[in-house]
Structure 1
Amino acid sequence: MPISLRVHDTMRAVEAALLDTAACLARSVQRPPVQLPPPARAATARTRGECLVWEDRARRIEQARQDSADTRRWHTTSAGRTAIRAALWLSGRADGRSGPFRPLSDTEEQHLARVKPALDLSDVRRELTAEHPCQCGGTIEVYGGAGARPVAHCKECGTIWHEGGVVAA
């Protein structure tokens, strides 16, 4: 099924806006990752005190790695930056979920409150109007949300569509 260039341009504009909003907010509210400790010379520990120093160093390295890889972080250089991930991340900030960031300021909350209706991630079902019936003449129901891929199906013949096209007819 061909896609309208206007629809494609709108999708790209929405994606760019979501990615930009997430990146700007992350720069403002996300704390920097825990830094790796400075390099140290390897040595054989002979005393319990030296063992504790190396154990603490290993703990600090692991903590820095875990903090940097925290999935709640917005990574501005990651290949996984998508409109869906940006919407989920922004929704988490608007809902005040915990993570490696400070609480939102009043101004930031007001900004996200304006875009939050567009980030609605609840499970939604809607029937298309009679102007858009299935080929069989039946009513098409569209559902998705809550992070799931959108799906449409005909209530009459049972045909199912998703982003990739017809799944079952």
Structure 2
Amino acid sequence: MNAPAAWTTPDLCDQHPDVLVAEPLFRHFGGQARFSGAIVTVRCFEDNSRVRELAATPGQGRVMVVDGQGSLRHALLGDQIAAHAVANGWSGLLIHGGVRDVEILATLSLGVLALGACPRKTEKRGLGDIDVAVNFAGVAFVPGHWLYADGNGVLVAPRPLASIS
């Protein structure tokens, strides 16, 4: 479930000084610049098998946080998986790695943040872990915690934050 459209990450930081703020490493690639939701994690390296599997399940407004260990040699998300995520109700993806098909990603109603773009797809080896705590950009991303992202940055909180009036 997305938070009300009135929030911004600066306002949330001001109102909730205990939120974690990710280092500003990510670029926006999706059609939604602002997104939020409960975190589901994937830890993988140059294999997006688990990302594909999760995108095909009901997202229920959640955010998929993918720790690709910072590799930009293969894209962990492309237009086909992203289209499945949209169709299944995911709010967005935060990828510590690369994406491809960026022109199409920009047209989808999905938040997508990643380190950069790479045209090479991954090999599907069925590797990776789901729902494990991952750490990157100076933040621990814990399954069930909440992520908020907009043009100002990425925040993580252990619970949904109260709306800003």
Normalized against structure 1, the TM-score is what?
A: 0.22
Question: If each structure's strand is expressed as a fraction of its own residues, which one has the higher value?
Answer: 2
1 or 2, which has the higher helix percentage? 1
TM-score of the two chains, using structure 2 as the length reference: 0.23
